[in-house]
Copies of this chain bind each other. A is one copy, B any other.
């Protein structure tokens, strides 16, 4: 069950002026579920995207990159679940284009003004006819007040829909930021099988939006992992409709940091929600590495811990088998690590120092922390000032069950 995560209330997901959302039950893979989402953007919107680094990236990812590079004034997005349209070669590319062509006809746009997204099973042909047949229904229910339906329409193995909103003041104007995301396996740095869409009605220059998306993704989606797999389809999109009436924000604006941090805050909440709803998750773990020489070595240690099946199963069992954490630190690949200098904490409890178990440590203390649904693992490498934080979840029977049964 998701860890301290409940679905957002429809009313808590605030409309963003200039963004309309509509969904359909297109039966892409299974009946009776929302599986197609259409989002439209008012003319004059700016859009930025970051995508998976997987070289087997999906056909829609290839098109998204191409269309964004053309600066073609993006006006709509279309998402299907049930099929990833990845590992589908030239034919997959054609099917993604067909989807854009069909939607562009219905919305009176050019095909390259539409960004396509797919998520689901890899290596199977996209049932493009079903996706296209769902588009009129999705268009028919387009409205601004439809974010919860949109969050539900992009779910795959997610148990809980993910979305959040913020409002801040920019130059005396209230601006709104609303985002949705989906997980929930294959979550890894440099993205995951995750889709994220964050929109604001603020006026933001294209270059400021690009700057914000790179900052935000490094603080959020690139800090989460469920199973270490990097998917073929990961995409995060930032959209700004420029309707809030504020003076356009660029990188030198006094407002820039406030907007960047608010959008990053939304991205972090959405990213953490993916981990909280990680496949089979029963625990939410924050892995914080401090005292490194640089961030890169901190991340090596954090991911060695966050990826270890041995550690993740021990967390599932609420077993303070902390030696497995020391082992992971030891094989993380940090050069000349002084294992006798580092310190390991579980929550506030000092667990290991001087190369072994801390003298004052009692197993009951570790057990008490492990029983909590949210657990902090903190390592002080004691060799510098760099740090990083990574979020992950435990590894349960249900992870195996979900992934063994996924296609059935």
Contacts and interface: CB of A to CB of B under 8 A. Distances in A.
B310 A57 contact: no
A327 B122 contact: yes
B88 A229 contact: no
A46 B231 CA distance: 50
Interface size class of A (residues with CB under 8 A): 35 or more
Given A121-B323, A229-B328, A396 B400 contact: yes
Contacts of A7: none
Interface string A52-68: 01111100000000000
Q: How many chain copies?
A: 2
Contact of A313 (B316, B322, B356, B400): B400
A22 B49 CA distance: 65
A324 interface: yes
A352 B123 contact: yes
A267 B337 CA distance: 31
Interface string A113-149: 0000000011111000000000000000000000000
A8 to B, nearest CB: 28
Contact of A53 (B88, B308, B331): B331
A30 interface: no
Contacts of A86: 323, 326-327
A23 interface: no
Interface of A: 53-57, 84, 86-92, 121-125, 185-186, 188, 227-232, 307-310, 313-314, 316-317, 319, 321-324, 326-331, 334, 337, 339-340, 352, 354-357, 395-397, 399-401, 403-408
What 5 pairs across the A-B complex have the smallest Cβ distances?
Answer: A122-B323, A56-B330, A89-B356, A123-B323, A317-B404
